[in-house]
Chains A and B, each alone.
Chain A
């Protein structure tokens, strides 16, 4: 067996999500090669070569990969994939965008968001917002996989000494071009890797009221998240969304404020180690998954929490 892991990066650093995909590859077994495609991304390849357990790094350094557009990157994956038994990427918007395109070009199924490796051809993946777990066996000779990062530990970023091989990148498809990116506030803690997350729901009533959560978050070193209802209501941007179609996270502590606990939201946070729910409706389903529930008006409880920390 041999695994190819597609490295997610910003042309400077390897994304943490990739380290989790490497662990999934380790569990599958066999050699692990990494593919780094980007522009002026030699430093990424050097860093990738140090990841524990990696045999070799293939580096495609070309302007057409600079922004990881799906069309050119999928074409590259199709060139590199033959000979590998497994091709993996993290189930982030990066992996979700490019991997199915590559899989279809290879005429292979994709196994989305695996949470467990049962054997080299059998995987567990959540369906129905995580209300069911399906064990699926693949008959494809190349298994195209995205990995739910929270369910696999991060591989050690140091300790490996893989070789770096420079490869060509094929022609530019010219189908799309990158224009710009608006990144959310950089001084905030990253939602996907935060140890503590405090999220607000529809009960927050406005975007301004999220300031209360930011104050608590600053004291705890926490990230701020939101339910889909809060995003739908326009309180906060979508990148804060935790849930089935947003981010799936598993912090040590998750504090749900004014969140009723729809199954779509639970899908994104129920692997958290400790869950706290603050809601004025004692019947809210969030209390069924909470380790500590507080039935209270959030507009009194949150400032009180802020003062107590």
Chain B
């Protein structure tokens, strides 16, 4: 079975997002970028499935501009077999991304799609669910455990109340939650090896899809900050303040 792992290039999670002065968006110029952490969980799971013999080939794919290649190279260094970059300088919405990646999944004839559950930049949490809809496949969202057996997979999902176990028919689209696995560290020889792995580039326009955005961003602003508080010197003072000043206990 071939698996398509969809990954996104995002602002490094350790870096605080700064809003541009003109309110047009978040300033990413010269910012440290990285593979979305949840996408790393998705890729790590694909690598483990290949190690277990469930998966033969791992294709890592992303939609984006020039430097998206760096993120895909990181995926290759982690262990993916080859990469596909769908090239566009436009920032596409999840629906358009899902259409593009659905087409790639069909062209490649994969039996499984793995993604992160959420990108930590726009926090949409949509692409996996949308891909499953467009492919007409089952959906296994927010996975923390995956077992594939023949034409079925048993999934443990992270839900608000706890853990839900479902069974889905293959092929399926899975989105990774943080407890699915611990992504491996990339070693220098892997980085060197990744440079020689195949990287296909496909121009977005050549796919002939309607990827027009449906949302117009009118403004991006920083939220109001909280006013600075005080440092108390003892537990006794804290309890007194909570009782008599804040009146919350």
Contact = CB atoms under 8 A, between A and B. Distances in A.
Interface of A: 67, 69-71, 74, 92-94, 96-105, 107-113, 122, 126-140, 174-184, 192, 196, 220, 228, 231-232, 237-239, 244-245, 247, 252-253, 263-264, 270, 273-276, 282, 287-296, 301, 304-305, 308-309
Contacts of A296: 235
B220 A101 contact: no
B95 A104 contact: yes
Tell me what chain A mostly uses at the interface: helix, strand, loop, or mixed: mixed
Given A71-B139, A100-B126, A178 B94 contact: no
B165 A132 contact: no
Interface string B111-127: 00000011011111111
The bracket for how many chain B residues form the interface is 35 or more
B238 A178 contact: no
22 contacts: A93-B142, A97-B129, A101-B129, A110-B94, A128-B120, A132-B17, A132-B26, A132-B221, A133-B221, A134-B217, A135-B218, A136-B217, A174-B169, A176-B168, A178-B164, A232-B179, A238-B179, A239-B160, A275-B229, A289-B229, A290-B229, A293-B229
A109 B214 contact: yes
Nearest to B219: A135
Given A70-B139, A132-B223, A294 B216 contact: no
Interface stretch (B1-9, B42-50, B240-248): B240-248
B139 A176 contact: yes
B169 A182 contact: no
Given A127-B122, A182-B162, A232-B178, 14 more contacts: A99-B129, A108-B214, A110-B124, A112-B123, A122-B218, A128-B123, A140-B214, A175-B168, A176-B140, A176-B169, A177-B167, A179-B154, A237-B163, A238-B144
B58 interface: no
Contact of A309 (B141, B164, B178, B239): B239
A203 to B, nearest CB: 16
Interface stretch (B67-75, B79-87, B130-138, B193-201): B130-138
A112 B144 CA distance: 22
B130 A292 contact: no
* Chain B facing A: main interface SS: mixed
Contact of A127 (B16, B121, B169, B232): B121
Contacts of A273: 248
Nearest to A139: B214
Give the one of A112, A122, A139, A176 with max B CB within 10 A: A176
Nearest to A307: B235
Interface of B: 11, 13, 16-17, 19, 26, 38, 93-95, 98, 117-118, 120-127, 129-134, 137-142, 144, 154, 157-169, 177-179, 213-223, 226, 228-236, 238-239, 241-242, 246, 248-249
A112 B126 contact: yes
B141 A97 contact: yes
Contacts of A100: 94, 125-127, 129-130, 133
Nearest to B233: A294
Contacts of A94: 159-160
A110 B126 contact: yes
A274 B246 contact: yes
A8 to B, nearest CB: 9
A295 B231 contact: yes
Contact of B95 (A107, A178, A192, A247): A107
A309 B242 CA distance: 11
Contacts of A126: 123, 223
A87 to B, nearest CB: 14
Contact of B215 (A105, A109, A192): A109
Contacts of B226: 270, 275, 288-289, 291
Contacts of A98: 129
Nearest to A122: B218
Contacts of B124: 110, 112
Nearest to B164: A181
A93 B239 contact: no
A220 B249 CA distance: 7
B13 to A, nearest CB: 7
Contacts of B231: 282, 287, 292-295
Given A136-B216, A253-B242, A131 B161 contact: no
B222 A132 contact: yes
**Best-surrounded residue of B157, B220, B230 (most CB of chain A within 10 A):** B220
Contacts of A291: 226, 229-230, 246
Nearest to B245: A292
A136 B24 CA distance: 11
B235 A308 contact: yes
A228 B241 contact: no
